[in-house]
Amino acid sequence: MDVYEAVASRRAVRGFADRPVPRETLERALAAAAWAPSGSNLQPWHAYVVTGGPLAGIKKRVGERLASGEPWDEAEYEMYPAALKSPYRERRSAFGEQRYGALGIGREDWEARQRAAAANWDCFGAPAALFCYLDRDMGRPQWSDVGMYLQTVMLLLRAEGLHSCPQMSWAKFHGTVAEVLSPPGELVLFCGMSIGFEDVAAGEARTGRAPLDETVTFVDGL
Ligand SMILES: Cc1cc2nc3c(=O)[nH]c(=O)nc-3n(C[C@H](O)[C@H](O)[C@H](O)COP(=O)(O)O)c2cc1C
């Protein structure tokens, strides 16, 4: 698979097959992803790859918390600016409409949206997950490094025939994830990532993108 194909076929998959992912495959992809770039080669990512009983334990504990109506954990970082301005606000609502519209959930049906969102914490049925941490005192450039690392992981997973879904929603339950993974206290959970083989029957529409000239400016030489 060439890079263009890996990029074009990667998407946030939200329906995985009940088919285990071999440990060697995950190791191969994660070993290759270590070559992702980072400022001064800090490699600020700390990835926990979780399968089997430990992943089932995390899903179960979060499921129990959801069922009991317990609130989310205190946020350790802001996921989005409080007042999202244009054009980001419109892009977010277009995404919400597409995602929840495909499930037959109306714009104002907050409860149904929350129920659908709960599938995040079952990893959409995926048999493997990656929880990505970084040190609490790292700055914006290092968070960006972690993003590059995660995209590298996702593209390599495509090369292995696997799909993924990056999920900040896991940060809402960072305490429960930590109960199982016991990361050092100085780490903060940026996101989880569901990993597995796609359940093709689940089928979801491809998201769109802004036209190139909205996000890229070419400044040509004379
Ligand atoms: C950092 C990050 C966090 C995300 N968190 C979630 C999430 O919690 N749940 C989810 O279903 N999708 C999540 N997504 C997936 C985005 O919704 C998705 O990437 C975006 O809508 C574009 O769609 P595509 O990835 O299918 O092209 C996240 C993506 C990124 C990069």
Tens of pLDDT, residue by residue, the chain (222 residues) = 999 999 999 999 999 999 999 999 999 999 999 999 999 999 999 999 999 999 999 999 999 999 999 999 999 999 999 999 999 999 999 999 998 888 888 878 888 888 889 999 999 999 999 999 999 999 999 999 999 999 999 999 999 999 999 999 999 999 999 999 999 999 999 999 999 999 988 877 899 999 999 999 999 986
For the chain, the domains span 3-81+119-207
CATH number of 3-81+119-207: 3.40.109.10
Phi/psi at 48 (5° precision): -110, 120
Task: Return the best residue to mutate from 100, 150, 165 for the ligand 1 pocket (most ligand atoms within 8 A of CB).
Answer: 165
Give distance in angstroms: CA of 12 to centre of ligand 1: 6
What is the amino acid identity at position 118? A
Whether 167 lines ligand 1, by a CB cut-off of 6 Å, is yes
User: Which of 57, 48, 184 is CA-nearest to residue 129?
Assistant: 48
* CA dist., res. 196 & res. 18, Å (int): 9
Give the pLDDT confidence score for residue 26 in this predicted structure: 98
Closest residue to atom 6 of ligand 1, CA basis: 167
Angle between helices 174-181 and 52-68 (to 10 degrees): 150
Closest residue to atom 16 of ligand 1, CA basis: 12
- The alpha-carbon radius of gyration of the chain (Å, integer) is 18
Give the pLDDT confidence score for residue 115 in this predicted structure: 86
Distance of CA 188 to the CA centre of its chain: 15
- Stated pTM of the model: 0.96
Question: Cis (ω within 30 of 0) for the bond into 22?
Answer: no
Give the pLDDT confidence score for residue 180 in this predicted structure: 98
Closest residue to atom 31 of ligand 1, CA basis: 166
CB 7, CB 155: distance < 8 Å: yes
DSSP strands (E only) in the chain? 46-51, 128-135, 163-167, 187-196
Whether 12 lines ligand 1, by a CB cut-off of 6 Å, is yes
